[in-house]
A and B are shown apart, each in its own frame.
Chain A
Amino acid sequence: MLASLGLILLCQLIGEAVARGLGLPLPGPVLGLLLLLILLMTRDRFTLLARGPLRNDGVETASKGLLAHLSLLFVPAGVGVVQKLDLHASHGIAITLVLALSVVVTLLATVLTFRLVSRLLRQQDAR
Chain B
Amino acid sequence: MKDNPFSLWVYLSQSPLLWLTVTLLVYATTDAVSLATRRHPLCNPVLHAVWIIGAFLLLTGTSYTTYFAGAQFVHFLLGPATVALAVPLYENRKRVVASIVPMLVALIVGSVAAVVSVVLLAELAGLPRDVVLSLAPKSVTAGVAMGIAESLHADPSLAAVAVILTGIMGAIIVTPLMNRTGITDYRARGFAAGLAAHGIGTARAFQVDEIAGVFSGIAMSLNALVTSFLVPVAVTLLVR
| B contact residues around A35 at 8 Å (CB) | 83, 86
| A contact residues around B46 at 8 Å (CB) | 71, 74-75, 78
Given A97-B125, A107-B174, A117-B105, are A81 and B160 also a contact pair (CB < 8 Å)? Answer: yes
Contact A37–B86 (Cβ < 8 Å): yes
| A contact residues around B228 at 8 Å (CB) | 25-26
Q: How large is the interface on A (under 10, 10 to 19, 20 to 34, 35 or more residues)?
A: 35 or more
Contact B138–A73 (Cβ < 8 Å): no
Name B86's contact: one of A33, A75, A110, A114 (CB within 8 Å). Answer: A33
Name A99's contact: one of B89, B165, B193 (CB within 8 Å). Answer: B165
Contact A105–B113 (Cβ < 8 Å): yes
Contact B74–A106 (Cβ < 8 Å): no
Given A59-B87, A70-B206, A105-B117, are A114 and B74 also a contact pair (CB < 8 Å)? Answer: no
Q: Does B110 contact A (CB under 8 A)?
A: yes
Contact B121–A98 (Cβ < 8 Å): yes
Q: Does B183 contact A (CB under 8 A)?
A: yes
Q: Specify the main secondary structure of chain B where it touches its partner.
A: helix
Contact A115–B188 (Cβ < 8 Å): yes
| A contact residues around B54 at 8 Å (CB) | 79, 82-83
Contact B188–A12 (Cβ < 8 Å): no
Contact A111–B68 (Cβ < 8 Å): no
Contact A111–B189 (Cβ < 8 Å): yes
Contact B224–A26 (Cβ < 8 Å): yes
Q: How far is the CA of A70 from the CA of B50 in the complex (A)?
A: 15
Q: How far is the CA of A75 from the CA of B89 in the complex (A)?
A: 25
Q: Does A121 contact B (CB under 8 A)?
A: yes
Q: How far is the CA of A110 from the CA of B89 in the complex (A)?
A: 20
Name A74's contact: one of B93, B164, B206 (CB within 8 Å). Answer: B164
Contact B74–A60 (Cβ < 8 Å): no
| A contact residues around B166 at 8 Å (CB) | 99, 102-103
Contact A74–B157 (Cβ < 8 Å): no
- Shortest Cβ distance from A52 into chain B, in angstroms? 16
Q: 1/0 per residue A22-39: CB within 8 Å of B?
A: 000111111011111100
Name B221's contact: one of A25, A33, A63, A82 (CB within 8 Å). Answer: A33
| A contact residues around B141 at 8 Å (CB) | 27
Q: 1/0 per residue A2-13: CB within 8 Å of B?
A: 000100110110
Q: Does A108 contact B (CB under 8 A)?
A: yes
Interface residues of B in 52-84 (CB under 8 A from A): 53-55, 57, 64, 67-68, 71-72, 74-75, 77-84
Residues in chain A within 8 A of chain B (CB atoms): 5, 8-9, 11-12, 15-16, 25-30, 32-37, 40-41, 59-60, 62-64, 66-67, 69-85, 87-88, 91, 94-115, 117-118, 121
